[in-house]
């Protein structure tokens, strides 16, 4: 043990070739085996990256500044780290590795995104999540949650959140009531829940920070196709985090955060005539029927990206 109390000295770095093994040796002291594996692999891959691209000192400085700017752009109402991870496809990769038999089969899961808030208002099945005047075509959803054998799952708590038809979440828009277009539902004995809302619109992700700079230099548009987010939670089942996309959206194949899979494209059906599902509904209105599959597993809630 040395003067600082660490178990393993890495040694002196004599050449670039020494850098990786010396650092890996120095990090062996962590008691947590998984932490050793994660930190070791991260160092190996990061060193390999610098070697592969022959990283210059100016590029290194730029990268560090980019990371610092991600932190500086993050606050209680905005999470630039989540946005960055989403915009480079990393969130979708992690999602797929952890769902659908470790990415080998289709999954109903999708990335969380930066706009989930805990404590959405509990809302009765069939109730509305429109909490302040919100323009847009009315939408009536009818959903069911089942297990992989198709058996309904009762008592699933389902959080729902979406942007308004102008493409802003309530926390980004002073004209919307707190928690507008957010709600928490509980599935009934038949695994069903539903709610009334407005058809969502696509929207640009926030581009005021370093992620915006990245998109601009890569000549990428900042749009997400219209969608509604869902988070299903019930002890005994893996928490289902997903989004259901509007099927006629022009950005389905170029989602800036790579969240769309075929299983997540919903049937948002337009109705121009006939008996509306409630009184005073003006045509056209839309309906969405969707069946969610929850896999057995551990029910863990993510940390809310914003307050």
When binding is defined by CB under 6 A, the residue of 80, 86, 138, 170 that contacts ligand BEZ is 86
Tell me the closest approach of the beta carbon of residue 114 to ligand BEZ, in angstroms: 5
The position carrying tokens 């057995």 is: 296
CB atoms within 10 A of CB 138: 22
Applying CB under 6 A, among 160, 205, 226, 228 the residue interacting with ligand BEZ is 205
Smallest separation (angstroms) from Fe ion to the CB of 149 = 30
Residue 173 in tokens: 């828009």
DSSP state, residue 253: G
**Count of residues near ligand BEZ by CB under 6 A:** 8
The answer to the question of residue 225 lying near ligand BEZ (CB under 6 A) is no
Closest CB to ligand BEZ: residue number: 113
How do 138-146 and 223-224 pair as beta strands?
unpaired
Distance between CA atoms of residues 110 and 243, nearest Å = 6
Q: How far apart are CA 248 and CA 201, in angstroms?
A: 11
Residue nearest to Fe ion (CB): 113
Is 170 an interacting residue with respect to ligand BEZ (CB under 6 A)? no
Residue 205's binding partner among ligand BEZ, Fe ion, none (Cβ under 5 to 8 angstroms by kind) is ligand BEZ
Distance of closest approach, residue 145 Cβ to ligand BEZ, in angstroms: 21
Q: Are the C-beta atoms of residues 246 and 200 closer than 8 Å to each other?
A: yes
Residue number, 191 or 259, with CB nearest to Fe ion? 259
159 binds ligand BEZ per the rule CB under 6 A: no
- Three-state SS at 89: coil
Query: Applying CB under 6 A, does 113 fall inside the site for ligand BEZ?
Result: yes
Interacting positions 249-268 with ligand BEZ (CB under 6 A): 257
CB 237 within 8 A of CB 187: no
The residue (of 184 and 224) whose beta carbon lies closer to ligand BEZ is 224
Measured at the CA of 301, the angle between CA 40 and CA 303, to 5 degrees, comes to 65
Cis preceding-peptide flag for 26 (omega within 30 of 0): no
Q: Output the CA torsion 257→260→265→268 (10° steps).
A: 10
Q: Which two tokens stand for residue 163?
A: 């942007």
CA distance 42 to 261: 28
Going from the C-alpha of 88 to that of each of 8, 109, 228, 235, 266, the distances in angstroms are 36, 18, 21, 32, 24
Binding partner at 257 among Fe ion, ligand BEZ, none, C-beta below 5 to 8 Å by kind: ligand BEZ
Q: Does 110 bind ligand BEZ (CB under 6 A)?
A: no
| 70, 83, 96, 145: residue in contact with ligand BEZ (rule CB under 6 A) | 83
Give residue for tokens 């808030």: 117
CB of 37 to ligand BEZ, least distance (A): 28
Of 24 and 231, CB closest to ligand BEZ:
231
Nearer to Fe ion, 113 or 210 (CB): 113
- For Fe ion, the closer of residues 183 and 191 by Cβ is 183
Of residues 191 and 225, the one with the C-beta less far from Fe ion? 225
User: By the criterion CB under 5 A, which residues form the site for Fe ion?
Assistant: 113
State the residues that interact with ligand BEZ by CB under 6 A. Answer: 83, 86, 113-115, 205, 224, 257
């Amino acid at each position: 043990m040395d003067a600082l109390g660490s178990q393993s000295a890495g040694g002196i770095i004599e050449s670039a070739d020494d850098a990786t093994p010396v650092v890996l040796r120095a990090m062996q002291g962590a008691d947590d085996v998984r932490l050793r594996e994660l930190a070791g692999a991260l160092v190996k891959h990061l060193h390999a990256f610098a070697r592969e691209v022959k990283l210059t000192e100016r590029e290194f400085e730029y990268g560090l500044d980019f990371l610092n700017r991600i932190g500086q752009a993050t606050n209680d109402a905005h999470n630039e780290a989540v946005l960055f991870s989403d915009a480079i496809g990393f969130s979708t990769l992690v999602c797929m590795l952890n769902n659908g038999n470790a990415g080998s089969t289709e999954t109903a899961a999708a990335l969380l995104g930066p706009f989930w808030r805990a404590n959405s208002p509990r809302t009765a099945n069939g109730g509305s999540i429109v909490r302040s005047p919100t323009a847009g075509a009315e939408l009536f959803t009818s959903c069911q949650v089942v297990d992989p054998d198709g058996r309904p799952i009762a008592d699933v708590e389902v959080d729902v959140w979406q942007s308004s038809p102008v493409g802003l979440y309530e926390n980004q828009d002073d004209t919307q009531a707190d928690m507008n277009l957010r709600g928490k539902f509980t599935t009934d004995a038949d695994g069903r829940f539903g709610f009334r809302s407005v058809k969502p619109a696509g929207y640009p992700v926030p581009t005021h920070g370093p992620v915006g700079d990245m998109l601009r230099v890569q000549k990428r548009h900042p749009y997400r196709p219209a969608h509604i987010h869902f988070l299903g939670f019930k002890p005994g089942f893996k928490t289902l985090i997903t989004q259901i996309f509007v099927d006629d959206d022009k950005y389905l194949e170029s989602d800036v955060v790579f969240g769309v899979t075929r299983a997540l494209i919903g049937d948002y059906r337009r109705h121009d005539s006939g008996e509306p599902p409630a009184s005073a509904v003006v045509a056209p209105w839309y309906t969405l029927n969707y069946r969610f599959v929850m896999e057995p597993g551990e029910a863990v809630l993510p940390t809310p990206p914003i307050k």
